[in-house]
Amino acid sequence: MFIPDPKYLNPGDNAWQMTAATFVGLQTIPGLAILYGGLVKKKWAINSSLMVVYAFSSVLVVWMLFGYSMGFGNPLKLGPGILSGIVGIPAPVLSGLYLQSQAHVPLLQGAMPAFRFPSASLIYFQFVFAAITPAILAGGVLGRMNFKAWMLFVPIWSALVYSVNAFMLWGGGWLAQLGAVDYSGGYVIHVAAGVSGFVAAMVVGPRIKEDQKDFRPNNLLLALAGAGILWIGWNGFNGGDPYFANADASLAVLNTNFATVVALLTWLVMDYWILKKPTLGGSINGMVCGLVAITPAAGYVNGYGALAIGVAAAAIPWYTMNRLGKKRFFKKADDTLGVIHTHAIAGAIGGLMTGIFADPKLLEYVGVKGPGVSVTGWLYGNPHQFFVQLFALLVIVGYDGLATWGILKLVGLLVPLRAMDHHLTHGDLAIHGERAHELSSDDDFIEPSAVGDLA
């Protein structure tokens, strides 16, 4: 029996939305898992990858039970004014009828045309963004966080931090109503993950001295493979956020790749010019910074804006990582992979530069019946947009930092945040009973007695 599609459904839009979501999912599994597994010291490869796999898995459970509705549902009335624009009402999205109906969320009501795909497509697309955020955050605490603490921390953080960010900026909440924009997650994902990872690194404490002195990547080519999956996956990350297979999706993909190669080349030149050695590791950092910085701007800026963002996205984090990284503020945390630089700072640059370079001629929903959404930056006569972007950045940094600190303190009352000394010394084999390279001679590992091994 032939059952026709509902009238609202556009097969092309739905196919692209699911394809884009799959690209983003691949960025985490296996992209980040491979990247982290290659970038860390050999004894931490399994632990680092498994932290990513666990984050992806646990967030989907949270998302289906209450996380999605907290980020994109009806507003929870916590009080007058601002308090009604912070988070959505927690509710499950498990109903078959709901999953088959057309998507209806408060997101930019009155400005965004009705979606032309089922709610299930939107729920999954938004999930893969929610999943990658704590996986990025993990880069700040690799090599010492107790895995049990991580298992408790991720679902709580996803609900109380990520979903709140999503609602305030994407779900029609307070910051969106003020006019702040974040095309695909420069603030909601990357600033959030970078700031929270930095705070977590401070709270959990540093790696053991041996690991701080020597934490060379165990496999840079493996890391490059993970980074490559991230890069190509970003076509879905930014290309899927117009929610239509339209001209703006194409622009977002082109801008994403252009800004990324500019950032990679800028980092490479700075390595060569200042440090006298062009490095693959540095190139990966430049690539990530470019991807992150163009994310809040991808569909709002033209090629000149993407070019400027690419240069700034590499030059500024290069300086903060290589010149300020061991001084002043940055010394307060042993941020393992430098997520404060490659994600928080790069994301902040992109969000602020959106307020400068956003081109009003670019309509996010052009080609779809209904009004379009355009953003006008300072360069085109609207300085207000820059200051709105700055305010939103300060809100995200302040809320996420404090909330992450509070969640970790709560988790620390239940289990130790830091792995046992024996685990810190021996890594994967002690914690998981596995190691990434079975042909390697790891040492004189001795299994500890079960007595006292409660971490």
Cβ contacts of 47 within 8 Å, gap of 6 or more: 142, 143, 147, 427, 428, 431, 432
Q: Taking all residues of the chain, what is their mean pLDDT, rounded to a whole number?
A: 90
What pLDDT score was predicted for residue 103? 46
What's the rounded mean pLDDT across residues 109-119?
68
Q: How many CB atoms lie within 10 A of CB 300?
A: 28
**What's the pLDDT tens digit per position in 19-66?**
999 999 999 999 999 999 999 999 999 999 999 999 999 999 999 999
Cα gap 52→183, rounded to integer Å: 24
What pLDDT score was predicted for residue 96? 63
**What's the pLDDT tens digit per position in 251-300?**
999 999 999 999 999 999 999 999 999 999 999 999 999 999 999 999 99
What pLDDT score was predicted for residue 330? 85
**What's the pLDDT tens digit per position in 304-314?**
999 999 999 99
φ/ψ (deg, to 5) at 236 = -80, -35
What pLDDT score was predicted for residue 455? 41
Instruction: Give the confidence band of 80 by pLDDT, cuts at 50, 70, 90.
Output: confident
What's the rounded mean pLDDT across residues 165-180?
93
What pLDDT score was predicted for residue 450? 42
Report the residue count for the chain: 455
What's the rounded mean pLDDT across residues 124-143?
98
What's the burial of 450, exposed, middle or buried (CB within 10 Å: 0-12/13-18/19+)? Answer: exposed
Query: Is residue 324 within 8 Å of residue 276, measured between CB atoms?
Result: no
For residues 336 and 108, the model is more confident at: 336
Residue 173 confidence (pLDDT) above 60: yes
Instruction: Give the confidence band of 419 by pLDDT, cuts at 50, 70, 90.
Output: very high
Cα gap 405→166, rounded to integer Å: 19
Q: In the block, which residue shows the tokens 């079960």?
A: 450
Residue ranges of domains in the chain: 11-74+115-432
CA dihedral 347, 351, 353, 354 (to 10 degrees): 140
Q: Please state which CATH number belongs to domain 11-74+115-432.
A: 1.10.3430.10
Cβ contacts of 400 within 8 Å, gap of 6 or more: 161, 165, 191, 192, 195, 196, 199
What's the rounded mean pLDDT across residues 428-437?
92
Instruction: Give the confidence band of 8 by pLDDT, cuts at 50, 70, 90.
Output: confident
Share of the chain above pLDDT 70, in %: 89
Residue 90 preceded by cis peptide, ω within 30: no
Instruction: Give the confidence band of 322 by pLDDT, cuts at 50, 70, 90.
Output: very high
Helices marked H in 172-219: 174-178, 192-204, 209-213
